[in-house]
Amino acid sequence: MTDESPTRAERRTRSRQAILSAAQALFAERGYERTSIRTVADRAEVDPALVMQHFGSKDGLFASAAQGSVPVEGLIGAGREELTHALVHHVVDAFEDPEQRPAIEALMRSSLTHPVAGQVMRDQVMADAQAAVADTIGGSDAALRAALLNATMLGVAIGRYLLEVPALAAADVEDLERILTPSLEALAGPGGRSTGGRGPGVGRRV
């Protein structure tokens, strides 16, 4: 008779995922300041000590929850011809996915009001996206150009999804991309022009 009970490694993986899921939900519901290690542990039905064992601190937990909510694979895989399309959909696809949006909104709102959350957003979440874009752009000022591109899309996200500025909130994604593309191309600098989303990156979640 085969013993199908989970191994210690499997139990550890499951508990870690349960904690992360609970943390993402609570940070979305309550924000950074009103979410505690104990409330996360209660939601995940684990001992608070296990949360600390996995993540070290509330800051570490927030960082892991935030990183898991903002995938950057689409930006890492995008070539220069696909870059502006990937940048627009990096924001739009995430915010318009009902499963991802609560965690991403919580991250952004918290980062604007709490220093630790802001540091996590800047140094761990945004840094990965900016590094991917800078690598694609190349050149001596790639890091600055990538930061400006990131700041532009961050502003779009805040205006469209957090503040719900009427013209931005009501705009079709196609119109957003059409109007943003010349500005994004100018910030990206010399290189191949955008294909408007018809390159090999089309259809991937970013």
Q: Are residues 102 and 127 in the same domain?
A: yes
Rounded distance between C-alpha atoms, residue 91 and residue 180, angstroms: 13
- Tokens linked to 33: 């300041």
Instruction: List Cα–Cα distances, 68 to 3, 144, 200, in angstroms.
Output: 33, 25, 25
Q: What is the pTM of this model?
A: 0.72
Q: Are residues 131 and 104 in the same domain?
A: yes
Q: Are residues 112 and 32 in the same domain?
A: no
Rounded distance between C-alpha atoms, residue 22 and residue 39, angstroms: 9
Name the most confidently modeled range: 5-9, 140-144, 192-196: 140-144
Please write the tens of the pLDDT for every residue from 10-61.
888 999 999 998 998 888 788 888 899 999 999 999 999 999 999 999 988 9
Q: Are residues 106 and 135 in the same domain?
A: yes
Mean pLDDT of 192-202: 37
Please write the tens of the pLDDT for every residue from 118-169.
888 888 778 888 888 999 999 989 999 999 999 999 899 999 998 999 999 9
Q: Are residues 18 and 83 in the same domain?
A: no
**pLDDT tier, 78 (very low <50, low <70, confident <90, very high otherwise):** confident
When divided into structural domains, the chain yields a total of 2
86 lies in a domain? Answer: yes
Q: Please give the residue that has the higher pLDDT: either 89 or 63.
A: 89
Cβ 188 vs Cβ 84: under 8 Å: yes
CATH code (residue 107): 1.10.357
pLDDT at res. 201: 36
Q: Which domain range does residue 23 map to?
A: 8-57
